[in-house]
């Protein structure tokens, strides 16, 4: 990738694809601004370079056209407060009024465009829409790792129509962290994989068998692996059609002499609720009608012991239903093990980043990715289209 620092920005219109897809409450107030803060260093750099900064993002999944709850107007206000500088806002992302606003910009000015996904052509990567976006700028900068696995107009389509393009600081940080974790890792490399479904991470699991030294599997996806070993998980979430696939992954790991650690004991509940009756049981001792909600304390100890000797750790997915306080102990024990290890720790975005924050290790791990889907895409061994476009 060509770095933004290799491009002369002075006086140029610079289109920066950011990811400001932020959580908001019912009043439109931003509840977590981490994704904005991750872009402040690039904005400051472009201001120092006397660029005209055009920021573009999506927010949510609007169905058709403008929807107030998905407007980026509150983001412009929040960014203005963080920068202590007025961030102008455009009521659309293409069209004559937007072009006029861009033409009137002075060096160092910042303009945030309205939600790109108010136009269906964004997601469909429509060539005409891509050219209209490209017409707003002299330079394109991708600083949105979280959407770089998408073939969309503002991610890949418009790049071919701009004179110069490069990677922003956040995208560079993400790709460097990935390289440290997967391409040139210090060993042993331990992957911690959790979450709900094997199906969503099947390609990643199979690809990681070419790289990792050990694999720790928890969360509801571990249930399918337990099922493949003859464990009756009763009312737990499982994917029975992937039982043989799970067995094949375990066999392949054994052939490669990769240790795979599965739960040894389980926290189970009689219903999927915080108020449910719970108990800790051994494998094959789940009561009829009960479901697995978390790894047990013995499992947590074993997982933490295996993490202690790692030099590189990749974590994607919680160990249980961590959203409910009664079932977050396993996830937090593993999170603490990752944070305490003398290792480079690369944490996947989405739920995993949220779990790291709730378990109070967010600032103690080496790197927390801003993108769940893009992170998983890399774990599958696939190139990111948004990065490829910059080549």
Topology of domain 185-379, CATH:
Rossmann fold (3.40.50)
Domain ranges of the chain: 4-173, 185-379
Tens digits of per-residue pLDDT, 192-241? 999 999 999 999 999 999 999 999 999 999 999 999 999 999 999 999 99
Which residue bears the tokens 């499992």?
Answer: 299
Q: Are 38 and 146 in contact (CB under 8 A)?
A: no
Comparing CA positions, the residue from 360, 347, 295, 282 lying closest to residue 321 is 295
Q: Are 265 and 281 in contact (CB under 8 A)?
A: yes
Query: Tokens standing for 265?
Result: 């004991």
Which residue bears the tokens 């993002």?
Answer: 57
Amino acid 349: pLDDT: 76
User: Residue 216: beta bridge partners?
Assistant: 192, 261
**CA triplet 215, 210, 298: central angle to 5 degrees?**
5
Amino acid 83: pLDDT: 97
Instruction: Tell me which residues of the chain have a pLDDT lower than 70.
Output: none
Out of 1.10.10.10, 3.40.50.1260, 3.40.50.800, 3.40.50.300, select the CATH number for domain 4-173: 3.40.50.1260
Instruction: Name the pTM for this structure.
Output: 0.93
The neighbour count for residue 315, using CB atoms within 10 Å, is: 27
Residue positions forming the annotated binding site for substrate: 19-21, 35, 58-61, 117, 150
Query: Tokens standing for 152?
Result: 């969309």
**Euclidean distance between CA atoms 28 and 95, whole angstroms:** 26
Q: Are 205 and 180 in contact (CB under 8 A)?
A: no
The continuous run of DSSP H or E covering 165 comes out as strand 164-167
Could you say which DSSP state residue 182 is in?
I
3-class state of residue 249 by DSSP: helix
**Euclidean distance between CA atoms 191 and 182, whole angstroms:** 10
**Euclidean distance between CA atoms 134 and 160, whole angstroms:** 9
Whole-number Cα distances in Å, 298 to 222, 285, 295, 301: 16, 15, 8, 5
Query: Tokens standing for 191?
Result: 């992957």
Which residue bears the tokens 């910059």?
Answer: 390
**Euclidean distance between CA atoms 369 and 333, whole angstroms:** 20
**Euclidean distance between CA atoms 107 and 138, whole angstroms:** 13
Amino acid 26: pLDDT: 83
Amino acid 25: pLDDT: 87
Amino acid 27: pLDDT: 83
Known catalytic residues are 35, 197, 350, 373
Contacts of 202 (CB under 8 A, 6+ apart): 242, 245
Do the first three CATH levels of 4-173 and 185-379 match, i.e. the same topology?
yes
Residue positions forming the annotated binding site: 19-21, 35, 58-61, 117, 150, 201, 323, 349-352
Amino acid 64: pLDDT: 85
**Euclidean distance between CA atoms 365 and 335, whole angstroms:** 9
**HSE on the CB side for 276, CA within 13 Å?**
20
Phi, psi of 146, rounded to the nearest 5 degrees: -60, -20
Q: Are 262 and 230 in contact (CB under 8 A)?
A: no
Could you say which DSSP state residue 156 is in?
I
């Amino acid at each position: 990738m060509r770095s933004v620092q290799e491009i002369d920005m002075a006086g140029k219109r610079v289109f920066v694809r950011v990811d400001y897809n932020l959580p908001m409450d019912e009043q439109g107030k931003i509840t977590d601004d981490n994704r904005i803060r991750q872009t402040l260093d690039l904005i400051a750099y472009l201001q120092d370079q006397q660029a005209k900064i055009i920021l573009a993002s999506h927010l949510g999944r609007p169905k058709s056209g403008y929807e107030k709850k998905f407007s980026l107007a509150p983001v412009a206000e929040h960014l203005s407060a963080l920068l202590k500088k007025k961030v102008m806002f455009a009521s659309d992302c293409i069209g004559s009024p937007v072009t006029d606003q861009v033409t009137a910009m002075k060096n160092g000015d910042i303009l945030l465009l309205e939600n790109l996904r108010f136009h269906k052509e964004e997601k469909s990567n429509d060539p005409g829409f891509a050219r209209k976006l490209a017409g707003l700028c002299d330079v394109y900068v991708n600083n949105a790792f979280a959407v770089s696995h998408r073939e969309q107009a503002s991610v890949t389509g418009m790049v071919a129509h701009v004179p110069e393009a490069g990677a922003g600081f956040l995208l560079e940080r993400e790709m460097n962290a990935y390289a440290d974790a997967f391409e040139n890792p210090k060993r042993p490399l331990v992957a911690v994989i959790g979450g709900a479904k094997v199906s969503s991470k099947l390609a990643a699991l199979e690809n990681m068998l070419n790289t990792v030294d050990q694999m720790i599997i928890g969360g509801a996806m571990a249930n399918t692996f337990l099922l493949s070993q003859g464990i009756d998980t009763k009312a737990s979430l499982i994917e029975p059609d992937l039982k043989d696939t799970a067995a094949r992954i375990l066999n392949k790991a054994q052939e490669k002499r990769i240790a795979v650690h599965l739960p040894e004991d389980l926290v189970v509940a009689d219903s999927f609720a915080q108020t449910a009756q719970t108990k800790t049981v051994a494998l094959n001792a789940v009561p009829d009608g009960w479901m697995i909600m978390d790894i047990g304390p013995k499992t947590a100890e074993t997982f933490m012991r295996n993490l202690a000797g790692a030099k590189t750790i990749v974590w994607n997915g919680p160990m249980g239903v961590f959203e409910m306080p009664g079932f977050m102990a396993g996830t937090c024990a593993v999170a603490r093990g990752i944070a305490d290890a003398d290792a480079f720790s690369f944490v996947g975005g989405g739920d995993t980043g949220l779990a790291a924050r709730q378990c109070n290790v967010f600032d103690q791990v080496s790197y927390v990715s801003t993108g769940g889907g893009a992170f998983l895409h890399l774990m599958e061994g696939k190139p990111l289209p948004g990065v490829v476009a910059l080549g």
